[in-house]
Amino acid sequence: MAILTGTFTSVWDNGTVSTNCTLDTDTGKLSPETAEIVPNDLGSLLEEIFTDGVEDYQVCPICHEYIMKTVINPDGVGIGLTEGLECSSHCSDSDDSYDSPEPVIEREINKYLCCSTGHMSKEDSEKLRGEPFSHHSYEFGDFIYVNSDEECFKDQIKEYTDAGFSKDFINLIKMTRDNGCVFLQLDCDGPVYDDLPTYDW
């Protein structure tokens, strides 16, 4: 770890303010010796610089606590690299990120199979709405939970069969499971598949 000793200078419309400061070159963190006392007639802040007498470092305009470092990024069209400056502590990144544990914990991510509501008959839709068939209705359709446990899945199919759901509906449920999904989504804007029967109602 290297600590540089130098001066932190803030440049204002009507003057500059300087204080002794150290820079940790590993982290980019600045530690001013005294809290900056800024007279209120200086106008607006133009820039802040740390200098060790050899090199000038630009200070992050957002957190004011870290120097900016040079980063190399691919350019927008993907044919070259552009050089940019970013805060050593990535302070402005925090808005679109969230606290994530280290090491990263693997999350369980599940899939659902999506199809048009047109693949469900009126009769099946009405049956689904009766107890005890678990489903979640939303503005544009339904989500139907499909059990991932093998025994529970067999029970689920038996319940549908016993209640008189159509073979087509039960096929949709089986297809959902065969595709490794835990939900069947029937959505009014969902895809219509050529290989599945459709219902007009």
The residues of the shown chain that bind Zn ion, judged by CB under 5 A, are: 60, 62-63, 66, 87, 91
Nearer to Zn ion (CB atom), residue 68 or residue 196: 68
Cβ of residue 26: shortest distance to Zn ion, in angstroms? 16
Could you write out the three-class secondary structure of 156-179?
HHHHHHHCCCCHHHHHHHHHHHHC
- Please identify, using beta-carbon distances, which residue of 23 and 87 lies nearer to Zn ion: 87
Q: What are the counts of helices (DSSP H) followed by strands (DSSP E) for the chain?
A: 3, 11
Would you say 9 or 166 has its CB closer to Zn ion?
9
> Minimum distance between the CB of residue 1 and Zn ion, rounded to whole angstroms?
20
Q: Which is nearer to Zn ion, 63 or 170 (CB)?
A: 63
d(CA 9, CA 164): 79
- Min dist. Cβ of residue 67 to Zn ion (A): 9
State the nearest-atom distance from the C-beta of 90 to Zn ion, in Å: 7
> Facing residues of 68 across strands?
87
- Output phi, psi for 57, to 5 deg: -120, 135
